[in-house]
Amino acid sequence: GAVVSQHPSRVICKSGTSVKIECRSLDFQATTMFWYRQFPKKSLMLMATSNEGSKATYEQGVEKDKFLINHASLTLSTLTVTSAHPEDSSFYICSAIAGAYEQYFGPGTRLTVT
């Protein structure tokens, strides 16, 4: 089956610094990737849709200047959390579309901002 990887799996950073999270589709090309955020014991909330070669589409309430998304190739999308604060601590999960409708999820990245 299709495999999606994320790096890093865990990251701890200091308040005010920026963190980059990578999402890769390993054995297929993905023109569309999604970024979700999951709070403890909560469901996944869509943050943005990442389209290869064009600007990301952000959901209402998500600050595009804080959560920078770049989809530079058909196998890589990156999410950069700029000037991170403790409230940005969360589990970030990406997914990629394979085929017409099926999404494959990465293993997630646990971000802790101290």
| Beta carbons within 10 angstroms of residue 10's beta carbon | 10
Region binding another protein by CB under 8 A among candidate stretches 13-21, 64-72, 73-81, 88-96: 88-96
Judged by CB under 8 A, which of 11, 13, 44, 76 binds another protein?
44
Do the Cβ atoms of 44 and 36 come closer than 8 Å? yes
Q: Is 72 helix (H, G, I), strand (E, B) or coil?
A: strand
Task: Please count the residues of this chain forming the interface with another protein, following the rule CB under 8 A.
Answer: 24
CA angle at 10 for the pair 5 and 11, rounded to the nearest 5° = 120
CB of 79 to another protein, least distance (A): 14
**Where along the sequence are the contacts to another protein (CB under 8 A)?**
4, 6, 32, 34, 42-46, 49, 91, 93, 95, 97, 100-108, 110
